[in-house]
Structures are given as structure tokens and as C-alpha cells.
Amino acid sequence: MLEGFKSQAATFAADVDQALYINLIFSIILAFSVIGPMLYFAWKYRASNVKKEDIENVVHHTGLEITWTLIPTIMMFVLFYYGYTSMRALRTMPDAKNAITINVEGSKWKWRYEYPANANGFVHKVGGAYTKPTMDGHGNVVKNGTMGKSALYVPVGTNIILDMTAPLGDVIHSFYIPAFRMKEDVVPGRITKQWFNATKVGEYDIECAEYCGTDHSYMFSRLVVMPKDKYEAWFNSNADTPKGNYANSGDAVLQRHGCKSCHSIDTDKVLFGPSLKTRRLTKEQVLDVIKNGQNKLGYAMGAMPSGLATGADAEKIAEYVANGMTGTKPASFATCAGCHGEDGKGQYGTAPSLVTYDVDLLRNVLKHGKKGMMGTMPQFPYVTEKEVSAIAEYLNK
Amino acid sequence: MSKSYLEAGETHCAIGHPKSVFWQWMLTIDHKRIGLMYAAVIFTFFFVAVFVALTMRIELFAPGAQILDGDTFNQAFTLHGVIMIFLFIIPGVPAVFGNIVMPLMIGAKDVSFPRLNWFTFWLYIFGALIALSSLWTGEGFADTGWTFYAPYSLNTNTNVITTLVAAFVLGMASILTGLNFLVTIHRLRAPGMDFFKMPLFVWGIYATAWIQLLATPVVGITLVLAILEKVFGIGIFDPSKGGDPVLFEHLFWIYSHPAVYLMILPAFGIMSEIIPTFSRREVFGYRTIALSSASIAGIGYLVWGHHLFTSGMSDLAKTIFSFLTFFVAIPTGIKFYDWVATMYKGQIHMTTPMLWALGTMVTFVIGGLTGVTIAMIGADIHLQDTYYTVAHFHYAMLGGVVFLLFAGLHYWFPLMFGRMYNEKHAKRAFWFNFIGFNMLWFPMFIAGYLGMPRRYFDYLPEFQIYHQISFFGALVFITGLIYMFTVLISAIKKGEKVGPNHWNATTLEWHLPSAPPPLENHSKVPYVDFRPYEYHHGDPVVKFNYETMQRID
């Protein structure tokens, strides 16, 4: 059972469960009113037990027919009523003045949350993709995926309105919190709304319920319901995620943001993206890649998407990944360093060492690109003569 | 003794008089042969889709990706849905028994337009080939789900257009079948047979034919719009071009909701034939059963919005659609009480078809009542797009339509082939199917209520136990299916020979000069001045001289 499912931790969850409970009782009554007599007649009037003369052609009985039309009809109206009232509980939006309105964006395949500006004018933007489970070569799960901390943080006992949309060009998703019994589609190009008022502090699963493609099964997120004071403290700070149990060290941050599913961090091995161990980047560069993505080099494995982490998390990742470098270098080398390493000595599996290259060779390669064992070196025809010389000089040092 | 329609040369052909037996089948315009060919094709597709489903069940046995990745799984459930819906269950009962039995039941020589019937069959085959061709062409089979929701279907690179074209062609075949049956039922009934003397199966086919004729064009237009949007970017459904994706959902369900009644109504008709025959008495409440079919078909047009309770539709619209939906439950419930009342003071012969019919009462009652649950708006907001909905749909469609199709297969088998299958084995196969079916789908109600969304190829470990019970249910169920078809197929050639009225039934299809029936059915057109299920002390009241078709009772 999902965490918190039993606790009906939203004000209207009990209404929905009550409707379902009444439905269950009525369903059992109605099912037995058909199946019961059916089984009884099948036994009582079995061929070996009935003489032909005893068969009677009863084809009409007004009283019975009215009964089995009227009673189920009344039951249907009762069920309609409870369906309607539970819908009213789910769908009657609180006044926006007495509620926190959070913008929810569902896109392939992550949930993002944007809060209203706090007292400092800082806007919290949290959320991101779920970490998939890790598997060995045989497809056995080694480690379960985690909901990550790409969570929606809300205070307990407060009306929360969700203004939900999906980017144009994306597809329909559906924001579903099973523990709260609530769900509404997230449609590109329009804003749909949901609200809830969580009654218990805790963590609850958020799932995508409308089929949306490859990673539909992984479009998870988590709702974290916090005590009001803790929420306020976080909301009014500029920290990306709340302190305490919710914040983690850089390694865990990497893990939860799914960096590790593309980049190895403890070996030289190139997974989908280059290893972060040998890739000695500055904090600023890492931050830049995280924020803006990386596709300048046209990797065979595709672009590094932007915005995988934000704010404090991104800072931590950058700090963790960055390795202090020495020596001055031209600014334009930053791009080279992406593949060839900060020291130009190349990186295992990505690009060769440049140390032995002279100015002419460099110029030629930069203009026309080069096919190597490890893939294609892209062209950089816009590098000026002056810059080529500077790079060559730097490398020869 | 007249010759059977199955013998070489005993057929009329669309073109010429071919000598070869093969071409006699390919060009046949005989409704019985066409029905048999439909049966052969749709059950082949059925087994393909069953094994696709089994592959998905194996993948879902444990969390994590084992044998299928996300994209392949998405294509697999789309393939399963497209085959089951468009190639199997929509043609289903009408194409097989509407063709084979309906003209016999009203004393006709064939359907009104036999050549159109032949054309329709081949149009269906053509549509099926288009659908299957997209498995091996382009970027692979569509991964949209059988509902083709926009904008997903507009954005995906897979071969959606081919599948949409196939669905369009298959829809055309469905419309033509409906048209043909409508005209047949209106124009070719035996003299004296007014609408309230028709067997109830004919009522089911009649109600279905109207849905096929009136609702299918809506989905046709929708599919064409989706194709135009994909090719020319006309911006009807794509929000980035100013279109409305929810409009697609409305248009799609305006057809696809009545379509589920299109599937179930003729199946209910089969139930209405089997229950009185094996209770050896007249059916209870003939008129209410007949008119409830018509009213379900009518109300069915007005309830499509209950598929959109969580799609962002206005709360007022939700309320109206929910209210109307409950009115479908009432005539359906009345049918069930009528069937149970038919057993009262009868003489119940527990033959294989009766066993299937009574088993279906259990499974369809569950399928129907869980449908009532999700007609309640508040409940549906929680259960929409979860396994609860999946389980409801399979209880209603597989446990309703397909189980009754199997019931019909066992019921009319001696009529179609003049031979009888081994009842001991057929009953055993039923129990495998019934137990496996419930074990396969019942756990999904619970998983769905607990929050297991549908169309997930990987899931949170909390749900593993339900998937595993389902998996073992699937194994039992598939064993039962293979067992059942082995029993039936082996009986086509080797079964014991039986006479024209093996079940002691009353309706006209059992008053034929021989079993299997001759090419042009009844020797003479009978005069019908009796009700369809007249029994007296357990014996059919109406008896015919099968050569002259004069009553001899």
C-alpha cells in the first residue's frame, strides 16, 4: 500500500471513501440479488429434479417487475447523490485569498512547482525528474528508484490551490495523489485547477495517471506535508529545499536529481554522459551546464538537458564536481576543456590529448573537424586566428 | 436430404462460378460461410492479442524493466487494444453470429445485400492488413494507446497515421455491416413475424446495427481530422497551433462509448437465446428485454462525457453526464432480473452453453456494477485511469461480450457444423476460463483503488502482489482458452453427428431440413404466427415439416 494511503490525509478523502463504501454495499446487495436467485434456481430446478409437467411458463409479474425496476433506480439516485457530493468536496475551490496558489507544470516526464514570491521577492522553483531504479545486466532491480526530493512542499492544514498546465508542444498528463483520492488532467495550453487541504504531516506519492509516453511509469513526484512553522521558515528563505531531513549532501543531491543515471562519479567509465570524475570543471561551468544544458559539442549521446537542478542543489552539485585547477588559460578554452579536459591532456573515452598539437594542426582541426576513434570533433570555424595561437601557446606550455 | 452449405460447390459467388474450392470460399456471398470466415479471422487476431497481453503480464511480474522497455511496452498495449477493439470485439458477435444465425432466425435466405456483405468482409481484411502493416513499416507500431489521444498522437514519431487509416477502413466495414443488417431485419423477416415476434438475439443485432450506422461516422471524421492535423498541421487538436486536445476526447468518445453497447447488446441477445432454451420455458418479460436493448442503445449516445470526468470539463457537464449514465444501469439491471426469472419453475439443463451463460451473469454483474462505481463522479476522480478502470473494462468486455461470444459458439456449434463437441471437456475448459479470468482481473480492482495507474510498464513495489496474482490467473486463463478451442476445433471434423435441433430449441434457426443447413436455408419460407420461445411442458410447441415448412403441431 502506498505511504499514507490509509490515513485519508486530505479533508475530502473521507468523502470519497464514504461514497465508495456506500457503492460497495449497494453493489454487493445488487450482485447477490441477481447471483443468489440464479444459483438457487439452477440448483432447485435442475433437470433431474423437475418433471416436465411441473414446468410453468411464468412470463409476467407486475409487482416483481416494478420492484426490481424501482428499488435499483432509487439506489442509483442515491449513488449519483454521493458521487455528486464527493465531487463538490473535491472540486469546490477555496477562496484564493485564504490559500496558497502553486503553479504546477507537468512535462515529459517530470513535475515542477513554482511558488508565489516570498517576502524577499524570491520565487521557489522546485521539482524535477524521478530517479529510476538501478538494474543489473539481467534487468533485476538492484536499488529501487526514489521519489527523490523533487517534492512539492506544503504546510499542513492549509488550503493549497494547484494551477496546473503543461507546456505547448507537450502532451496531456494527470496529477494524481492516491492518498488524497484526487486527480485532474494537466493539459497543454490551458490551466486546470485542483485544491487540497492536507490534514496530516507526512510524505505522499504523486503519480502521472494520463498516459504520456516512454517514461510515463516514472513520472512520479512526492508531496511533503510539513508543520506550518517549518514551512514558513523555508518559504521565507532562499534555500531551494527545506532544511533538516529534507536537505542532503552533494552526493545525495546528485543521486536524487538523477545525475548518476548518465554520469559516473566514481570511475572513468563513460555512461550516457562523460564521467564527472575525470571531467575537471569549475563550479561556474558546472552551474552553467546544469542551468543551460549542454549541446555545444553535439555528443553522440545527445544533449545534456537544462535545469536538472536549481538553486542550492545546483550550487552543491557544482561544488562537489568541481576540481580546483591551476594555471591561466584563455576563456575560449572552456569549450575545448569540455572534451579534452581542463589540462588539455584528453579524457578517457571522450577526446584525445592535445599536448602535442601545433598551431597549424589545431587551426585545421578547428576549421574542418576531425574524425577520430572516439567520435567526431565538431568544427569551430568561428575561432579567430588570435585565439588559435593563444590555445596553441597554452597547450605547448 | 439436402446438401450442406459446407460442401464443395454449395455456394453462390460474387463473381462467376469458380471450380476451385478455395475460390468458392474467397468469393462466397453465402452469409453462413462469410460468418465462418469472420470467425476464423477474428479468433486468430484474438489469440495474437492474448499473447501480446501475456507478454505485458510477464513484464509486470516484478517491478523494473525485465523483457520490455517503456517504448516497447507502450506499443504492446496499443497493439493489444487496437486488435482487441477494432479487429476482434467490434466485428465480434455481429460479424460472426449476426451473419450466420440472424438471417436463419428471421427465415431469410440470406442478408439483403449478399454482395455488399462479401465486400464488407474483404474491406475488413483490407483494414486489418493496413493495421498490421504498420508493425513493420515506418517508425514502428503506434504507441498512443487504442484511444489515440491528442496531442500525444500528433507528436509521436511512430506509425500513427497507418493505424488511423486502418481504424477508418474498419469503421467503414462496420457501417456497411450495420446497414446490411438493418435492411435485412426490416425487409426480410418471414411473413407474420412482426418486431415483437423476433427472437431476442435479432433485437440485439438490430439495436447494434443502428449504433454502427449512426455513431461510427463520428469516429471516422475524428480520425480523418487527426490525419489531416498530422499531415498538414491544420490545428484542430494541437494546442500549440491553437487547437483543443479535449475536443479530440469528446469526439472520440461520442463514438467509442456507444461502441461498448454496440459490443454488448448482441451478446446480451445470445444470453436471451440460451437461458429460455435450457430452462425449457418461455422467456420472462420478452418485451422489456427487447425494449431495454433499444433504450440502452438510445441512452448510450448521451453519456460519453463520463470518460472525461478528470479531463478539465466543467463541473456542471460532469454532473449531467454522471446523471445520465446511471440510466444505462437500469435497463441493464432489468434484463438480468428477467433472465433470472426465466429460470424460475423451469427445467435447467446445465449444458456447456448454459454454463457459459450463467458464468457470464456472475462476471458481467461484477463488470456492470463496477461501472456504476466509476459513474459516480467523486469516485471516478480517484479511480479514473487506474487499474480499477482496466479491471472494470475487462470484466464487462471479456467477462461479458467475449464470454457470451464463447457461449454462442458452444450453442450454435451443432447448427454450424452438424456435429457436437465433447461436453465433458468443454465444461472443464469453462472452469479453467472462469477461475483464471477472475484470478487475473479481480486483484486489479484492489490495486486500482490503492492507486496503481494504468499503462505503467514499471511500478512501485507496493503493487507487486496484485500483479503476481494476476500473472498466475493469466496462465490459468490462457490454458483454458487453448483447451476450449482445441475441443471445438477437433469436433469440427471428428465430433459426433447430430440432427438439426440438437438442443430442443424453438427459434427458426433450429427448424432447418438438415444440419449443417443447406445453402438457401429453410426449404420454404415459413409463416410465423407464434412467439419465439413457446414451450409447453418442456417441449417446443411449434413443430414444422422441414420439407414444406408447414406447421404440424
DSSP string, A254-315: HHHTTGGGT--SSSS---SS--TTT----HHHHHHHHHH-B-TT--TT-PBPS-SS-HHHHH
Domain ranges of chain A: 13-91, 96-245, 248-324, 328-397
SS3 B314: coil
Amino acid (1-letter code) at residue A335: T
Q: Which helix (H) or strand (E) holds B34?
A: helix B31-59
| CA neighbor of B379 nearest in space, from A181, A4, A173 | A181
A27 contacts on B by Cβ (under 8 Å):
369-370, 372-373
CA distance A136 to chain B (A): 10
Higher-confidence residue of A368 and B341: namely B341
Nearest to B64 among A57, A83, A133 (CB): A133
Cα dihedral: A319, A322, A324, A330 (round 10): -120
Size of interface A-B (CB pairs under 8 A): 288
**How far, in Å, CA of B141 to CA of A190, rounded?**
30
Q: Do B379 and A60 touch (CB under 8 A)?
A: no
**How far, in Å, CA of A171 to CA of B325, rounded?**
28
- Taking the Cβ of residue A56 and every Cβ of chain B, the question of whether any pair is shorter than 8 Å is answered with yes
Distances (CA, A) of B509 to A18, B201, B272, B281, B532: 51, 12, 15, 18, 11
Q: Do B382 and A181 touch (CB under 8 A)?
A: yes
- Residue among B71, B283, B337, B364 with most chain A CBs within 10 A, to mutate: B337
Grid-cell match 524535477, residue found: A128
We report the CATH number of the domain holding residue B451 as 1.20.210.10
- ∠ Cα B288 B289 B291 (to 5°): 65
- Across chain A, which distance is largest between two alpha carbons, in Å? 114
A75 contacts on B by Cβ (under 8 Å):
none
Q: Which residue of B has its CA nearest to A19?
A: B379
Q: Which residue of A has its CA nearest to B331?
A: A69
Query: Which tens digits make up the pLDDT trace of A125-148?
Result: 888 777 776 766 665 667 666 655
SS3 A155: strand
Q: What pLDDT shows up at residue A246? A: 44
Q: Domain count for chain B, please give it.
A: 1
B350 contacts on A by Cβ (under 8 Å):
42, 46-47
| Residues whose CB falls within 8 Å of the CB of residue A44, separated by 6 or more in sequence, listed in order | none
Q: Which A residues in the span 189-208 are in contact with B, Cβ-Cβ below 8 Å?
A: 189-190, 192, 205, 207-208
- Taking the Cβ of residue B506 and every Cβ of chain A, the question of whether any pair is shorter than 8 Å is answered with no
Can you give chain A as a three-state secondary structure string?
Answer: CCCCCCCCCECCHHHHHHHHHHHHHHHHHHHHHHHHHHHHHHHHCEHHHCCHHHCCCCCCCHHHHHHHHHHHHHHHHHHHHHHHHHHHHHHCCCCHHHEEEEEEEEECCEEEEECCCCCCCCCCEEEEECECCEECCCCCEEECCECCCCEEEEECCCEEEEEEEECCCCCCEEEEEHHHCEEEEECECCCEEEEEEECCCEEEEEEECCCCCCCHHHCCEEEEEECHHHHHHHHCCCCCCCCHHHCCCHHHHHHHCCHHHCCCCCCCCCCCCCCCCCCCCCHHHHHHHHHHCECCCCCCCCCECCCCCCHHHHHHHHHHHCCCCCCCCCCCHHHHHHHHCCCCCCECCCECCCCCCCHHHHHHHHHHCEEECCEEECCCCCCCHHHHHHHHHHHHC
Q: Which B residues in the span 134-173 are in contact with A, Cβ-Cβ below 8 Å?
A: 143, 145, 149, 151-152, 155-156
Domain assignment present for residue B545? The answer is: yes
Q: Do B350 and A57 touch (CB under 8 A)?
A: no
B456 contacts on A by Cβ (under 8 Å):
216-217
Is the Cβ–Cβ distance between B74 and B146 less than 8 Å? no
Q: Which residue of A has its CA nearest to B383?
A: A181
pLDDT confidence bin for A305, thresholds 50/70/90: low
Which cell is B551 given?
406447421
Strands A173-177 and A182-186, sheet pairing? antiparallel
Partner residues linked to A107 by β-bridges: A110
- Residue among A6, A7, A41 with most chain B CBs within 10 A, to mutate: A41
Grid-cell match 484564493, residue found: A96
- Taking the Cβ of residue A163 and every Cβ of chain B, the question of whether any pair is shorter than 8 Å is answered with no
Q: Which residue of A has its CA nearest to B344?
A: A41
Strands A159-165 and A99-107, sheet pairing? parallel
**How far, in Å, CA of B232 to CA of A253, rounded?**
45
- ∠ Cα B411 B417 B422 (to 5°): 60
CB count within 10 Å of CB A225 equals 26
Which cell is B117 given?
456483405
Terminal-to-terminal C-alpha distance of chain B: 22
Spelled out in words, what is the top-level CATH class assigned to the domain A13-91? mainly alpha
| CA neighbor of A220 nearest in space, from B381, B455, B383, B460 | B460
Strands B535-536 and A173-177, sheet pairing? unpaired
**How far, in Å, CA of A17 to CA of B378, rounded?**
9
Q: Do B386 and A209 touch (CB under 8 A)?
A: yes
CB count within 10 Å of CB B493 equals 8
- Taking the Cβ of residue B539 and every Cβ of chain A, the question of whether any pair is shorter than 8 Å is answered with yes
Q: Which helix (H) or strand (E) holds B96?
A: none
**How far, in Å, CA of B154 to CA of B150, rounded?**
6
Query: Which tens digits make up the pLDDT trace of A146-194?
Result: 655 568 999 999 999 999 999 998 999 999 999 999 999 999 989 999 9
Is the Cβ–Cβ distance between B124 and B543 less than 8 Å? no
Domain assignment present for residue B2? The answer is: no
Q: Do B341 and A64 touch (CB under 8 A)?
A: yes
Q: Which B residues in the span 347-376 are in contact with A, Cβ-Cβ below 8 Å?
A: 347-350, 358, 361-362, 365-366, 369-370, 372-373, 375-376
Burial of A384 (0-12, 13-18, 19+ CB in 10 A): exposed
Q: What is the ipTM of this complex?
A: 0.93
Is the Cβ–Cβ distance between B130 and B531 less than 8 Å? no
| CA neighbor of B521 nearest in space, from B180, B102, B195, B92 | B102
Domains A13-91 and A328-397 alike in fold: no
**How far, in Å, CA of B132 to CA of B126, rounded?**
10
Partner residues linked to A114 by β-bridges: A103, A125
Grid-cell match 574542418, residue found: A368
Nearest to B345 among A45, A187, A189 (CB): A45
Q: Do B240 and A30 touch (CB under 8 A)?
A: no
Q: Note down the domain range covering B345.
A: 21-551
Q: Do B326 and A38 touch (CB under 8 A)?
A: no
- Taking the Cβ of residue A380 and every Cβ of chain B, the question of whether any pair is shorter than 8 Å is answered with no
Alpha-carbon A321 to chain mean position? 24
| CA neighbor of B481 nearest in space, from B436, B443, B439, B440 | B436
**How far, in Å, CA of B331 to CA of B457, rounded?**
38
Tell me which CATH code domain A248-324 carries.
1.10.760.10
**How far, in Å, CA of A53 to CA of B300, rounded?**
42
Q: What pLDDT shows up at residue A277? A: 55
- Taking the Cβ of residue A187 and every Cβ of chain B, the question of whether any pair is shorter than 8 Å is answered with yes
Can you give B183-241 as a three-state secondary structure string?
Answer: HHHHHCCCCCCCHHHCCHHHHHHHHHHHHHHHHHHHHHHHHHHHHHHHHHCCCCCCHHH
SS3 B8: coil
- Residue among B72, B154, B345, B383 with most chain A CBs within 10 A, to mutate: B345
Q: What pLDDT shows up at residue A256? A: 45
Tell me which CATH code domain A96-245 carries.
2.60.40.420
CB count within 10 Å of CB A284 equals 11
What averages of pLDDT result for each successive group of 10 residues across chain B (553 residues)? 85 91 94 96 96 95 85 93 94 95 95 96 96 86 90 89 93 95 96 95 95 92 91 90 92 92 94 96 94 91 93 92 94 95 95 96 96 95 95 96 97 96 96 97 95 91 92 96 97 93 94 91 92 93 90 87
Nearest to A47 among B315, B329, B349 (CB): B349
CA distance B47 to chain A (A): 25
Q: Which residue of A has its CA nearest to B283?
A: A59
Burial of A124 (0-12, 13-18, 19+ CB in 10 A): buried
Overall pTM surpassing 0.90 (yes/no) = no
Q: Which residue of B has its CA nearest to A29?
A: B369
Query: Which tens digits make up the pLDDT trace of A264-302?
Result: 555 555 555 666 654 456 666 666 766 666 655 444 444
B347 contacts on A by Cβ (under 8 Å):
45, 47, 50, 52, 54-55
Domain assignment present for residue B471? The answer is: yes
Q: Which B residues in the span 219-258 are in contact with A, Cβ-Cβ below 8 Å?
A: 239-240, 244-246
Nearest to A141 among B63, B288, B315 (CB): B63
> What fold, for A328-397?
Cytochrome Bc1 Complex; Chain D, domain 2 (1.10.760)
Grid-cell match 493495421, residue found: B131
DSSP string, B118-182: HHHHHHHHHHHHHHHHTTTSTT-B--STTTT-TTHHHH--SBHHHHHHHHHHHHHHHHHHHHHHH
B466 contacts on A by Cβ (under 8 Å):
none
